[in-house]
A = this chain, B = another copy of it.
Amino acid sequence: MHDFRTEIVWREGLEFNLSAGENPMLTVATPPEFGGPENAWSPEELFVGSVGSCLLSTFFYFARRFELAVQSCTSSAAGKLEKTAAGLRFTGIDVSIEVVVSDKEAAEKADSLRLKDKLEKYCPVSASLDCPVRLELAVKERA
């Protein structure tokens, strides 16, 4: 069993300090559309970012385990917040991961590992949500 603990202290207005152990302290604020300041991390962005980065972290867990040499990797995660009958809810999160590997052999190996299925099954954050997470994973050889 693993425990993940964070502390949050109100600063002023709609701004907060988020900390966890010795991690760099993070300013979090209500998003601008709900009255907060521009250019600060909102809880909603952190949520979407946690889903994307957990899928990516899970990808690299398997890349290490199966000795898949990654050259570069970029990813994006976008979450939709919508009014539903129950209130404002995340109705979907789209995550796209693009990986470049060194050659055709490595790309074929990635294919055979069915990594998309593994990420969907083993990423603990995306698997703990009540909203659909759509994952696109593309592994390409270097051009």
Contact = CB atoms under 8 A, between A and B. Distances in A.
A77 B3 contact: no
Contact of A57 (B30, B74, B88): B30
Contacts of A28: 49, 53, 57
Of A27, A64, A86, A125, most buried by chain B (CB within 10 Å of CB) is A125
A76 B21 CA distance: 12
Main secondary structure of the interface of A (DSSP, over half): mixed
A73 B3 CA distance: 23
A127 B89 contact: yes
A22 interface: yes
**Copies of this chain in its oligomeric complex:** 2
Interface stretch (A12-20, A104-112, A134-142): A12-20
Contact of A49 (B18, B53, B64, B87): B18
Interface of A: 1-10, 14, 16, 18, 20-24, 26-31, 33-36, 38-54, 56-57, 60-61, 64, 70, 72-83, 86-90, 121-122, 124-125, 127-131
Lowest 3 A-B CB distances belong to which pairs? A43-B54, A10-B73, A47-B50
